[in-house]
Amino acid sequence: MPDFSPVLDKLAALLTYDAAHPILFSSGLFLFLFAGFTFFYQFMRRTVALRLLYVVLFSLYFYYKTSGMYYLLLVALSFSDFTIGYCLTVTQRKWVRRMLVALSLTIDLGVLCYFKYTNFFIGIANDLAGHDWLNFRNIFLPVGISFFLFQSISYIIDLYKRRIEPAHQWIDYLFYLSFFPQLVAGPIVKARDFLPQIRRNPLVVTKAMFGTGLFLIIAGLFKKAVISDYISLNFVDRVFDNPMLYSGFENLMGIYGYAMQIYCDFSGYSDMAIGLALLLGFHFPKNFDSPYKSATITEFWRRWHISLSSWLRDYLYIPLGGSRKGKVRTYINLMITMLLGGLWHGAAWRFVLWGGLHGAGLAVHKFVMARFPSFRTLGSEMPWWRRVPGILITFHFVCLGWIFFRATDLQTGWNMIRQVFTDFNAALIPDVVAGYRAVFALILIGYLLHLLPDRLESVGERFVARTPFVFQTLLIAALIWGIMQIKSSDIQPFIYFQF
């Protein structure tokens, strides 16, 4: 009698959550599951109710494979805000509507604070008390909780402001919050952009959409699995883990390497999310636009993590008063927005410092533009003789922030800066470059691709979109084979999973 136990073991592993190996877009398991998912999806695209249920169930399974039973928390929060949103649409009394918004924010921010900031606040309380009068708790942070809660908050606020129509049914809202391409690391999709797409029928995937989606998936896989993972494991992590063991040059290269690593990691995820959504017939907004081409810190935040920066602008900066209440208040609003934006990234003082640094940079740039009207020119309209040095200054300002963003603590960040300025040791440069030849080559390739004109990226996108399906399949198979050849360990989790 045949032994089916190996097959059953593999099936059990496929269906159960493994905390040590959460499912990732860049893993072979996900690509296999997605291929099976899309096969059956093709038969359901024109039946709205069946399509919604099918995608929601797969999305919840996907979230279960990343965070275990916390998928129930996602379901509960979706029901809570859908119910509050429904109540907002059927009542006209201002005080009731305000109370409903306050209730929603209390629930959403309360959940976020518990999972993300409990130990941070316990640490502050213990420091103020001078002894450990509160015990730290072992709290698991559900993957992507910051992203789907921000989406839910934007839905409630937009309903309160009467900017959008409510979701038709609870399953529509659950679909919006749980849609797997952007569930765990964004982009943060606003309800007004996504809800109208959910019940569109027929849901069409044109040849151009398919080709563009495939191009974005290929680009995202290359950024994440080839560039980001390799330079992280083989150089960047080593330097940041113990910067005092390395020369100032190696520390500087580690900083430049991390700037490229985090860009390739996060923009790679966003590219794959946008591409996967296109293959299913949905459109997401662009999340990255070559941010290291920015000539000012203001331009950087219009190009980096666009969905977060626009969320902070629409739901925090503008409600605080924006730039409508005088110059001093504008600078204060910028600082508050970026300090909270830094804290959103993580419960540690280094993230607060990172946010404060960017807030100060934005405030200074705002001040300079007010004093010198010629500096109000942004983007490609800026003359080259100002744009080139502007790009170099902005890039190094951003890299300064990345030091504290990545370092395990503030002291490690200061140690890296001290090493760069006091122990550069230029004589070691040839040996360091020779020892890390592949790492530096990939970092260089990353920056060169990043600095290419946008029109060349469009050419590559159109080329992939117009090629036959067989060629597209061979292209992605070749990329996956290449990834398997160069990877030195298991595929690394995306950096923004921790946020």
DSSP state of 130: T
Residues with catalytic function: 345
Please report, for residues 32, 145, 189, 215, 476, the alpha-carbon distance to residue 352 in angstroms, rounded to integers and kept in the order given: 40, 19, 25, 36, 40
Helix, strand, coil abundance in the chain, percent, nearest 5: 75, 0, 25
Residue-wise DSSP of 67-89: HGGGHHHHHHHHHHHHHHHHHHH
Nearest CA to 430 out of 254, 277, 284, 250 is that of 250
Q: Answer for the pair 217, 476: CB distance below 8 angstroms, yes or no.
A: yes
Q: Please report which helix (H) or strand (E) contains residue 102, including its range.
A: helix 94-129
Give the dihedral sign, CA 265/266/270/276: positive
| Residue linked to tokens 């089916």 | 4
Nearest CA to 342 out of 78, 120, 136 is that of 120
Residue-wise DSSP of 439-491: HHHHHHHHHHHHHS-HHHHHHHHHHHHHS-HHHHHHHHHHHHHHHHHH--SSP
At residue 409, φ and ψ (nearest 5 deg) are -160, 175
DSSP state of 319: T
Q: Answer for the pair 479, 216: CB distance below 8 angstroms, yes or no.
A: no
Q: Which residues neighbour 492 within 8 Å (Cβ) at sequence distance 6 or greater?
A: 228, 229, 232, 233
